[in-house]
Chains A and B, each alone.
Chain A
Amino acid sequence: MISDLLSSILNADFLYSVIRITAPILFAALGAVVAEKAGVTNIGLEGIMMISALFGVLFGYWTQSWFIGVVGAVVVGVLLALMIGFFAFKMKTDIVIGGIAVNMLGAGGTIFLLDMFTGMKGNTGSLVTRELLIPTVDIPLIKSIPFLGQVLSGHAVLTYLAFLLVWLIWVVLYKTPLGLNVRAVGENPNAATSIGVSVQKIKYIAIGISGALAGLGGAFMSMYYSQGWNSGMVAGRGFIALAATAMGRGEPVGTMLSSLLFGLAQALRTKVSGMQGVSSYLVSVIPYLVTIIGLVLYAISIKNKLKKRHPVAKGAE
Chain B
Amino acid sequence: MNDRRLLLFSLVRGLAAILLALAVATIFIFISSDEPLNALKYLLLGPVVSFKVSGNVFNTTSFLTILAAMIPTIFSGLAVCVMFSANQFNLGGEGAIMLGGFVGALLGIYLKLNTGLHQVVCVLAGALAGGLIMLIPAVLKVKLGASEMVTSLMMNYVVMFVILHFLNFVFADRSKGATQTFPFQETAKIPEIVANGTKLTWGFVIALIFVVIIALFMYRTKWGYAIRMIGINQSFAQYSGMQVGTVIILSQVIGGMLSGMGGSIEVLGRFNTFLWRELPGYGWLGITIAILAKNNPIFVPFAAFFIAYLNKGCDLMATYSDVPSEMIDIIQAAIFLFFAAEQFLAKYRQKIVVRNAQRDLALQESAASQGGKI
Q: Which chain B residue lies CB-closest to A242? A: B150
Q: B344 at interface (Cβ–Cβ under 8 A)? A: yes
Q: A166 at interface (Cβ–Cβ under 8 A)? A: no
Residues of A within 8 A of B161 (CB): 281-282, 284-285, 288
On whether A296 and B150 interact (CB within 8 A), knowing A101-B336, A285-B161, A302-B145, the answer reads no
Residues of A within 8 A of B341 (CB): 87, 91-93
Given A97, A98, A243, A303, which contacts B150 in the complex, CB threshold below 8 Å?
A243
Q: Cα distance A243–B91 when bound, in Å?
A: 14
Residues of B within 8 A of A90 (CB): 343
On whether A285 and B333 interact (CB within 8 A), knowing A108-B328, A243-B150, A303-B145, the answer reads no
CB of B75, distance to nearest CB on chain A (Å): 19
Given A94, A108, A246, A285, which contacts B326 in the complex, CB threshold below 8 Å?
A108
Q: Which chain B residue lies CB-closest to A299? A: B144
Q: Cα distance A236–B91 when bound, in Å?
A: 13
Q: Are A281 and B150 in contact (CB under 8 A)?
A: no
CB contacts under 8 Å to B, within A289-308, are 289, 291-292, 295-296, 298-300, 302-303
CB of A177, distance to nearest CB on chain B (Å): 30
Q: Are A116 and B28 in contact (CB under 8 A)?
A: yes
Q: Are B329 and A108 in contact (CB under 8 A)?
A: yes
Residues of B within 8 A of A98 (CB): 336-337, 340
Task: Count chain A residues whose beta carbon lies closer than 8 angstroms to a beta carbon of B.
Answer: 45
Q: Are A299 and B333 in contact (CB under 8 A)?
A: no
State the main secondary structure of chain A at its contact with B: helix
CB of B42, distance to nearest CB on chain A (Å): 16
Q: Which chain B residue lies CB-closest to A301? A: B144
What are 28 A-B residue pairs whose CB atoms fall within 8 Å in the complex?
A: A91-B337, A91-B342, A92-B341, A97-B291, A97-B340, A100-B91, A101-B332, A102-B333, A104-B336, A108-B329, A109-B326, A112-B28, A239-B153, A246-B146, A246-B150, A279-B168, A281-B161, A281-B162, A281-B165, A285-B161, A285-B162, A288-B155, A288-B157, A288-B161, A289-B154, A292-B158, A295-B154, A303-B145
17 more A-B contacts (CB under 8 A) besides A109-B326, A239-B150, A296-B140? Answer: A90-B343, A102-B333, A104-B333, A105-B330, A107-B329, A108-B330, A109-B330, A112-B324, A115-B32, A240-B154, A246-B146, A246-B147, A246-B150, A281-B165, A282-B165, A285-B162, A295-B146
Question: Which 7 A-B pairs give the minimum distances between C-beta atoms?
Answer: A108-B329, A299-B144, A91-B341, A108-B326, A92-B342, A101-B336, A281-B165
Which of A's residues lie within 8 Å of B, judged by CB?
Answer: 43, 87, 90-94, 96-98, 100-102, 104-105, 107-109, 111-112, 115-116, 121, 236, 239-240, 242-243, 246, 279, 281-282, 284-285, 288-289, 291-292, 295-296, 298-300, 302-303
